[in-house]
Amino acid sequence: MFSVILVAACAGVTVQSQHLDVSLDPATGLVRGSCVIDVEQGGDLRFNINDAARIDGVTVDGSPRDLGGTTVIQDVPSSGKVRMDWSGTFREDVASGERVGQIHNFSVNAHVGEDGVFLSDGSNWYPQPVDQDGVPFLREMSISIKPLDGWTLVASGNPSPACSPSDPCWSYRTPRPVDGMAVVGNRHEVTHRIVPTEFGPVEVTVHLTPEHADKAGYYLDAADEYLRLYTPLIGAYPYQRFAIIENFFSSGFAFPGFTVLGPRVVGMAPRSLKPGYLDHEMLHAWWGNGVYVDPNDGNWCEALTSYCTNYGRRALEDGPVAARAYRRGLLNKVSLDPSLDDGPLGDFGSANPSGGGPDRFVGYDKGAFVFMMLEDVLDEGPGPASHADSAIWRALRDLSARHCGARIGWAEIQAAAERTHPDRPDGWLDPFFDAWVREHTVPMTEIGLTAIAPQRLHTIEDPGGMWVEIDPDCRHYRLLPHEQTSPTIAGTLGTGARVRIDGGLPAAEDVTAWMADVEPGESVLLVGPESIAAHADRIARADDTVVIEGGAFTVAGTRWDGPRQSFLHTMHDPDHEGRYITVFYSNGEEGWDRLRFIWYYGKDTTVVWDGDDTVLRRAHEPDATLPLPE
């Protein structure tokens, strides 16, 4: 996640900059502040303010103004200075937004307490100047915070030049216009490292609670690795510092120059440093907090960030086998639940969607797949041996260098892609972007499937004319027929399931509580030996079956008999077409705690754990051939 930069063209008043002076009291939640807004072009200045705050006074060029209960300051002169004093108590019920199995708590926007500070840039915790449409102005911002003994707070932008990376900093300034200011922090221990890049050094700081201070090295090493990996590919890191802050509730949010991660994710390091976590939040410094999103043309940055990290890091570090597995996993995900693809990619996050606007799968997963297909188009095939040599990185470097500090839409992305082949006419990618961004294109894997030029579709046909396999490398976005899907828990829960849990399991109540909310359906989720045994006949007849006997289990051709070993496994239900059977079992008491994590394995047919360690993850691929008509 990241904080979207919202910008709109507006008539009348314009704002050049805004400076905040604030004091925070964690004991009471009270925030007091004053801000100075430099108005460039005069007119009526509108602003928003959080319902928990109030305006205590307003002056324009030193003269008091009475707002009369409104949020409009009338007749501000050009080059005028508006001062606003405000105060508010920001307390939110953080616990109410926590959800088992989810790493984001989206309910908290503005909270100041002994448990921590989280003031998001979209919460209007200070007077937020907006245009006639209510959209925040894009302007340079700075902030000075009254020091809090024992605390470290981080704000949007770059720290003051006088701030050492190892010491608390109380003054920040954005290096380019933004639409808001965020402040987060706590009583943290801070470690740092200076990372050299070809564009200059980048400060990395890690802010963790004493409980997790021993994890700092993992995050320093990871940030160091990511900066060295991505700066040659997409250009200079857009800020002076990358700060990693442990939040006090579940989160994974990126802001200009820093990211906040929830305590559960932080505590899981290094397991929580797989592609799509910290790297995803760092790359929002380029996509979303460096090159900004034009909301009138949809939110493209989640798709591009997911392509670069969730997929790209696998392709860069693990090679083509891992890249194909990820591509097929996305095809499998939408094939298990086609309702996930619910609208055009260009409408995701748009201020003006053609309908209600598509959901996260379209914006993140399908969007990333569209960039994967664009990669193939620019490379004119499967591409070079090293993913780092793909032509798409030239397009992304151009995009970052040309548009950092500006808002863009899909048209600018298309133009950057087209410039990788300067010999071709403008608009040569129109068919691609029309089909995959502007239109709602969801093809089914079937005989006769064709690609949209300039894409290509690879097929393998039986020399004897009996069958055909379409797109064996999974490079074309499409739905798989049910019989080709890899069975996963995502399919089981997505189609609705009957949950059967043995009584008396050695698992805490919070481990299984979420199962009560599973939508009912014909698929089954079986937890424990008794529930599994009651369905033994159907399980035995399933393809890619599992066997449990003698305190051990055999799955994927391997027998596991360790007392700490447990597994999650899903099969096609042999008696109900389109349905699934998912089973969870542990050889001993310790393994039952893994139940709390099975939500996270929606792309895997089989997962085996040994204690806390994941020792096997696989996706079973059924036969992918289609019979040719005689």
Same domain, 499 and 389: no
Domain membership of residue 270 as a residue range:
14-290
Residue pLDDT, tens place only, 267-303: 999 988 999 999 999 999 999 999 999 888 999 999 9
**Distance between CA atoms of 361 and 368, rounded to whole angstroms?**
10
Same domain, 260 and 280: yes
Same domain, 512 and 422: no
> Residue 211 — pLDDT band, cuts 50, 70, 90?
very high
**DSSP annotation string for 3-23:** --------SS-EEEEEEEEEE
Same domain, 424 and 519: no
Q: Which long-range contacts (CB under 8 A, 24 or more apart) does 99-102 make?
A: 99/250, 100/510, 100/513, 100/514, 100/596, 100/599, 101/514, 101/596, 101/599, 101/600, 102/250, 102/599
**Distance between CA atoms of 418 and 395, rounded to whole angstroms?**
8
pTM of structure: 0.91
> Residue 468 — pLDDT band, cuts 50, 70, 90?
very high
Lowest mean pLDDT among 10-24, 184-198, 370-384, 440-454: 10-24
Is pLDDT of 595 > 70? yes
> Which whole number is the average pLDDT over 466-489?
96
- Please give the pLDDT value at position 7: 37
Angle 410-418/367-379 helices, nearest 10 degrees? 20
- Please give the pLDDT value at position 6: 38
Residue 422 lies inside a defined structural domain of this protein = yes
Q: Could you tell me the CA-to-CA distances from 486 to 117, 423, 446, 585 in Å, in that order?
A: 43, 42, 17, 20
Cβ pair 404, 291 in contact under 8 A: yes
The domain boundary residue, chosen from 247, 275, 290: 290
- Please give the pLDDT value at position 9: 37
Angle 151-239-257 (CA atoms, 0-180°, nearest 5)? 40
Amino acid identity, position 432:
F
The domain boundary residue, chosen from 454, 480, 506: 480
DSSP code for 430: H
> Residue 258 — pLDDT band, cuts 50, 70, 90?
very high
Is pLDDT of 199 > 80? yes
Cβ pair 429, 413 in contact under 8 A: no
Residue 604 lies inside a defined structural domain of this protein = yes
Same domain, 461 and 503: no
Same domain, 341 and 458: yes
Whichever domain contains 81, its CATH number is 2.60.40.1730
What is the Cα Rg of the chain in Å? 27
> Residue 514 — pLDDT band, cuts 50, 70, 90?
confident
Residue 99 lies inside a defined structural domain of this protein = yes
- Please give the pLDDT value at position 4: 42
How many folded domains does the chain comprise?
3
> Residue 395 — pLDDT band, cuts 50, 70, 90?
very high
Residue 295 lies inside a defined structural domain of this protein = no
Residue 2 lies inside a defined structural domain of this protein = no
> Residue 3 — pLDDT band, cuts 50, 70, 90?
very low
Cβ pair 260, 245 in contact under 8 A: yes
Question: Three-class SS string for 111-164?
Answer: EEECCEEEECCCCCCCCEEECCCCCECCEEEEEEECCCCCCEEEECCEECCCCC
- Please give the pLDDT value at position 495: 80
Cβ pair 329, 487 in contact under 8 A: no
Is pLDDT of 166 > 90? no
- Please give the pLDDT value at position 10: 39
- Please give the pLDDT value at position 63: 97
> Which whole number is the average pLDDT over 195-207?
97
Is pLDDT of 36 > 90? yes
Same domain, 424 and 506: no
Cβ pair 180, 218 in contact under 8 A: no
Q: Could you tell me the CA-to-CA distances from 289 to 6, 176, 307, 528 in Å, in that order?
A: 11, 10, 17, 47
Lowest mean pLDDT among 133-147, 528-542, 564-578, 590-604: 590-604
Residue pLDDT, tens place only, 342-354: 999 999 998 776 6
Nearest Cα to 571, choosing from 547, 599, 596, 595? 547
**Distance between CA atoms of 2 and 449, rounded to whole angstroms?**
37
Residue 624 lies inside a defined structural domain of this protein = no
Residue 314 lies inside a defined structural domain of this protein = no
Same domain, 430 and 491: no
Same domain, 472 and 533: no
> Which whole number is the average pLDDT over 301-316?
98
Nearest Cα to 346, choosing from 208, 438, 240? 438
Higher pLDDT, 166 or 432: 432
> Residue 505 — pLDDT band, cuts 50, 70, 90?
confident
When the pLDDT of each residue in the chain is averaged and rounded to a whole number, the result is 93
Cβ pair 407, 5 in contact under 8 A: yes
Same domain, 414 and 546: no
In this structure, what token pair is assigned to residue 369? Answer: 């797949």
Residue pLDDT, tens place only, 77-107: 999 999 999 999 999 988 888 776 567 777 8
Same domain, 430 and 547: no
Same domain, 334 and 259: no
Residue 470 lies inside a defined structural domain of this protein = yes
The domain boundary residue, chosen from 480, 513, 540: 480
DSSP code for 592: G
In this structure, what token pair is assigned to residue 400? Answer: 């970052």
Cβ pair 224, 193 in contact under 8 A: yes
Nearest Cα to 328, choosing from 365, 303, 275? 365
Angle 371-374-377 (CA atoms, 0-180°, nearest 5)? 160
